């Protein structure tokens, strides 16, 4: 066997082993969730209770689905549920990332193992899987941070977006600065959509729009002058531009300003 064929065989073996490992991890995750009850389902049921809502808004997305956004009272029960749900979604995002990377490897292998004259074009598929893996990695970091904030009783509002009692996204916001002082603005610390919506964005569209709409109402209730946040990457910056955000200094946000770096953005409210 030539060196190239040995290298391909070794890669195939490695990819298959990664697939088996990911399947075992997914099976373990599903068994745990079914045994203790889905953490996000528990949070969704809790958020659906009118008595537990500090603030509530509703939006019908372009698919005709009603998304309900709720800010929970900062109680031990609420933060405990936020912690468990965010931790569960962080783990699900990590497992989804592993699946996407495996799919990218399989598409790449399918490309190099076909004869040149009949080779299909898998480049787009590889890039699509890698982009999904990147989004899931970012999602995992967001949910890990939200869980940590809930665990440590960070002085923030925790909001839940749900559809028919199923959690679709989480948001953490505050009107305090880093020194713990009251500010004129509402800052969105972290905003994340459920991993299943990243893998299949057409399943429940409009989750980000629902969260920003809810943040607007929450900011008005708090008499905030603006909503501020940091957006990393062209995709996120394009979304916030569409929502009306501008540079923190008031300049219009244009596509040529998009960057892989974090841009401080502001949405004026008055």
For residue 192, what are its two tokens? Answer: 């994340």
Q: What is the distance of C-alpha 235 from the center of its chain?
A: 13
Q: Could you tell me the pLDDT band of residue 38, with boundaries at 50, 70 and 90?
A: confident
Mean pLDDT of the chain: 83
The ranges assigned to domains in the chain are: 3-224
This prediction's pTM: 0.81
Closest CA to 191 of 173, 174, 204, 178: 173
Per the document, the length of the chain is 270
Architecture of domain 3-224: 3-Layer(aba) Sandwich (3.40)
Q: Is 177 left (phi over 0), alpha (psi -120 to 50) or beta?
A: beta
Can you give the pLDDT at residue 36? 42
| More confident site: 191 or 29 | 191
Rg for the chain, CA atoms, rounded:
21
Element (H, E) at 151: helix 123-151
CB 266 within 8 A of CB 248: yes
Q: In angstroms, rounded to a whole number, what is the distance separating the alpha carbons of residues 102 and 127? A: 12
Average confidence (pLDDT) over 180-184: 75
Q: In angstroms, rounded to a whole number, what is the distance separating the alpha carbons of residues 209 and 181? A: 28
Closest CA to 167 of 82, 43, 51: 43
Handedness of CA 49, 81, 140, 41 (dihedral sign): negative
Share of the chain above pLDDT 90, in %: 46
> In the predicted model, is pLDDT for residue 23 greater than 90?
no
Q: In angstroms, rounded to a whole number, what is the distance separating the alpha carbons of residues 211 and 192? A: 9
For residue 154, what are its two tokens? Answer: 């960070």
| More confident site: 82 or 1 | 82
Q: In angstroms, rounded to a whole number, what is the distance separating the alpha carbons of residues 190 and 244? A: 18
Buried b (16+ CB within 10 A) or exposed e, 138-165: bbbebbbbbbebbeeebebbbbbbbbee
For residue 179, what are its two tokens? Answer: 């020194």
Q: In angstroms, rounded to a whole number, what is the distance separating the alpha carbons of residues 234 and 256? A: 10
Q: CA-CA-CA-CA torsion for 40, 141, 242, 69, nearest 10 degrees? A: 20
> In the predicted model, is pLDDT for residue 11 greater than 60?
no
User: Poorest-confidence range of 6-15, 111-120, 129-138?
Assistant: 6-15
> In the predicted model, is pLDDT for residue 35 greater than 50?
no
| More confident site: 33 or 70 | 70
User: Poorest-confidence range of 20-24, 148-152, 153-157, 180-184?
Assistant: 20-24
């Amino acid at each position: 066997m030539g060196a190239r064929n040995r290298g391909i065989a070794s890669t195939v073996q490695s990819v298959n082993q990664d697939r088996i490992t990911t399947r075992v991890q997914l099976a373990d995750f599903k068994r745990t969730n079914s045994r203790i009850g889905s953490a996000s389902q528990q949070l969704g049921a809790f958020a659906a209770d009118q008595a537990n809502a500090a603030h509530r808004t509703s939006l019908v997305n372009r698919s005709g689905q009603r998304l309900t956004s709720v800010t929970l009272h900062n109680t031990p029960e609420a933060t405990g549920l936020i912690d468990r749900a965010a931790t569960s979604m962080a783990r699900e995002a990590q497992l989804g990332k592993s699946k996407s990377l495996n799919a990218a490897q399989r598409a790449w292998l399918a490309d190099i193992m076909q004869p040149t004259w009949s080779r299909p074009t898998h480049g787009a598929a590889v890039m699509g899987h890698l982009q999904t893996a990147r989004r899931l990695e970012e999602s995992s970091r967001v949910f890990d941070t939200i869980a940590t904030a809930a665990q440590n009783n960070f002085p923030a509002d925790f909001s839940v977006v749900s559809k028919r009692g199923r959690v679709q996204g989480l948001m953490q916001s505050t009107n305090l600065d880093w020194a713990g002082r009251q500010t004129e603005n509402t800052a969105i610390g972290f905003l994340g959509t459920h991993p299943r919506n990243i893998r299949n964005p057409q399943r429940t569209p409009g989750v980000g729009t629902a969260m920003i709409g809810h943040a607007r109402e929450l900011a008005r209730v708090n008499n905030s002058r603006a909503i501020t946040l940091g957006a990393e990457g062209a995709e996120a910056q394009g979304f916030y531009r569409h929502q009306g955000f501008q540079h923190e200094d008031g300049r219009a946000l244009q596509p040529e300003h998009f960057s892989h770096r974090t841009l401080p953005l502001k949405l004026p409210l008055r």
